[in-house]
């Protein structure tokens, strides 16, 4: 588990609100160890993007971190990001923290060549000379799998495909050797072949650069293939976490079980999550107990008694469900009811 490994990121008790003080992310705690790939999954609106954006200091204008701690690095390199000033963010974002998102074109300037944009990053963030940064840019373009990197250097964003643009963005994101790369739905818009190539590239970069990865995806298959650990979010909270194989192989939270149900185990690879019946709570919706209770076939009065903490099941797994032990028992003896899905 990550506690025995050097930490790249620690998020503790994070609460984020949006709009008119609507709590959209609450009590979110997790860590990413050095070189580890952690996947963040959940339905649309569950708070995945706001969690990542809080870590990156890029919340929307109406968004705010109400409480909690975000610490980048470990030991002597540990840096508290909560409440950091702009100058600190300038030193961290793009340097110790890299990010890639779903729509790479919108993060590039259409009127500058991609080579220019990468060299600017190297010049501004690393203080490299013009010649050094040009040479390094071409090396980085080659490293992210762009053919004819010297030719690509002179291209404008509109001259490149979506997959090529995502590679350019990855080259920019890793150019300053960050400790952590956040990839928020970075392969969602790409076709499956390109998606697989980009995921392989991220794996390779993890190995060659000792990079930690926080990968947000709707797609359980993407996380299963790429990550060691998974965080399942529901209604702004983490409801289950643990090693990917164990969580997907034997989900403990009824929501994770339902996700696996709709994704049809055995034939779910490469499928996107489909919608589970019922609606998740909206941002800011106050609920007395478990936020999944209205959609859960196991729900009882106990579930509504008060806030449900994320509880350790064993050394490596945690679940936010007061009934998880009895549900696991019922499932083990084959009498568990199926969750409505
Ligand atoms: N700028 C904003 N203003 C108001 N509400 C917002 C804003 N950004 C996010 N929210 C709300 O916060 C909640 C969490 O949103 P978030 O984008 O983090 O979810 P997500 O899990 O990343 O979803 P998706 O997979 O669709 O990106 C949602 O209810 C969303 O409507």
Q: Which pLDDT tens digit goes with each residue over 22-63?
A: 999 999 999 999 999 999 998 888 999 999 999 999 999 999
Instruction: For residue 238, list its beta bridge partners.
Output: 233
Q: Which pLDDT band holds residue 336 (cuts at 50, 70, 90)?
A: very low
Q: What is the average pLDDT across 56-72?
A: 95
Interval between CA 95 and ligand 1 midpoint (Å):
26
Q: Which pLDDT band holds residue 328 (cuts at 50, 70, 90)?
A: confident
Atom number of ligand 1 nearest to Cα 61: 1
Burial of 101 (0-12, 13-18, 19+ CB in 10 A): buried
Q: Provide the token pair at 208.
A: 């060659």
Using alpha carbons only, give the angle 185, 34, 99 rounded to the nearest 5 degrees. Answer: 30
With a cut of 80, say whether residue 187 has pLDDT above it: yes
Say yes or no: CB of residue 44 within 6 Å of ligand 1: yes
Highest mean pLDDT among 7-16, 120-129, 299-308: 7-16
State how far the alpha carbon of 166 is from the alpha carbons of 35, 207, 217, 303, in Å.
Answer: 21, 19, 16, 43
Cα–Cα distance, 143 to 3 (Å, whole number): 32
Contact 264, 258 (CB under 8 A): no
Interval between CA 279 and ligand 1 midpoint (Å):
15
Helix (H, G, I), strand (E, B), or coil: what is residue 89? helix
Q: Which of 24, 41, 281 to mutate to test the pocket of ligand 1 (most atoms within 8 A of CB)?
A: 24
Using alpha carbons only, give the angle 67, 73, 75 rounded to the nearest 5 degrees. Answer: 105
Cα–Cα distance, 293 to 157 (Å, whole number): 47
Interval between CA 83 and ligand 1 midpoint (Å):
21
Dihedral, CA atoms, 89, 91, 95, 98, nearest 10 degrees? 0
Say yes or no: CB of residue 42 within 6 Å of ligand 1: yes
pLDDT digits (tens, 9 = 90+) for 290-307: 999 999 989 999 999 999
Per DSSP bridges, beta strands 318-319 and 97-100 are: unpaired
Backbone φ and ψ for 189, nearest 5 degrees, come out as: -85, 0
Cα–Cα distance, 288 to 293 (Å, whole number): 10
At residue 218, the pLDDT reads: 81
pLDDT digits (tens, 9 = 90+) for 219-265: 888 899 999 999 999 999 999 999 999 999 999 999 998 888 765 43
Q: Provide the token pair at 162.
A: 């979506």
Interval between CA 125 and ligand 1 midpoint (Å):
30
At residue 263, the pLDDT reads: 59
Interval between CA 285 and ligand 1 midpoint (Å):
13
pLDDT digits (tens, 9 = 90+) for 136-149: 999 999 999 999 99
Q: What is the average pLDDT across 106-121?
A: 96
Say yes or no: CB of residue 19 within 6 Å of ligand 1: yes
Say yes or no: CB of residue 249 within 6 Å of ligand 1: no
At residue 188, the pLDDT reads: 85
At residue 275, the pLDDT reads: 54
Cα–Cα distance, 95 to 98 (Å, whole number): 7
At residue 269, the pLDDT reads: 45
Dihedral, CA atoms, 188, 191, 197, 199, nearest 10 degrees? 20
Say yes or no: CB of residue 230 within 6 Å of ligand 1: no
Atom number of ligand 1 nearest to Cα 51: 18
ipTM: 0.93
Q: DSSP string covering 37-48, please?
A: EEEEE-STTSSH
Q: What is the average pLDDT across 178-184?
A: 96
Say yes or no: CB of residue 52 within 6 Å of ligand 1: no
Q: Which pLDDT band holds residue 95 (cuts at 50, 70, 90)?
A: very high
């Amino acid at each position: 588990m990550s506690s025995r490994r050097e930490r790249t990121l620690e998020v503790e008790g994070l609460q984020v609100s949006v709009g008119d003080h609507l709590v959209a992310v609450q009590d979110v705690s997790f860590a990413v160890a050095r070189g580890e790939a952690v996947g963040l999954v959940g339905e649309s609106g569950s708070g995945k993007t706001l969690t990542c954006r809080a870590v990156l200091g890029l919340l929307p204008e109406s968004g705010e971190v109400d409480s909690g701690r975000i610490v980048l690095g470990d030991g002597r390199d540990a840096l508290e990001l909560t409440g950091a000033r702009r100058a600190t963010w300038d030193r961290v974002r793009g340097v110790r923290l890299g990010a890639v998102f779903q729509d790479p074109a919108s993060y590039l300037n259409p009127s500058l060549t991609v080579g220019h944009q990468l060299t600017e990053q190297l010049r501004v963030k690393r203080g490299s000379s013009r010649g050094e940064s040009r040479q390094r840019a071409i090396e980085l373009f080659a490293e992210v799998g762009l053919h004819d990197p010297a030719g690509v250097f002179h291209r404008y964003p509109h001259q490149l495909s979506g997959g090529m643009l995502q590679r350019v963005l990855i080259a920019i994101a890793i150019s300053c050797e960050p400790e952590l790369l956040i990839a928020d739905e970075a392969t969602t818009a790409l076709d499956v072949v390109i998606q697989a190539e980009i995921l392989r590239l991220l794996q390779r970069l993890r190995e060659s650069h000792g990079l930690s990865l926080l990968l947000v995806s709707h797609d359980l298959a993407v996380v299963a293939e790429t990550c060691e650990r998974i965080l399942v979010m529901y209604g702004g909270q983490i409801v289950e976490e643990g090693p990917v194989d164990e969580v997907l192989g034997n989900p403990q939270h009824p929501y994770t079980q339902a996700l696996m149900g709709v994704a049809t185990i055995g034939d779910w690879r490469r499928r996107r999550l489909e919608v589970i019946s019922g609606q998740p709570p909206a941002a800011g919706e106050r609920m007395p107990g478990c936020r999944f209770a209205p959609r859960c076939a196991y729900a009882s009065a106990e579930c509504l008694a008060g806030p449900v903490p994320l509880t350790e099941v064993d050394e490596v797994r945690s679940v936010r469900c007061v009934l998880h032990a009895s549900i696991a028992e019922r499932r083990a003896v084959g009498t568990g009811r199926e969750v409505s899905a």
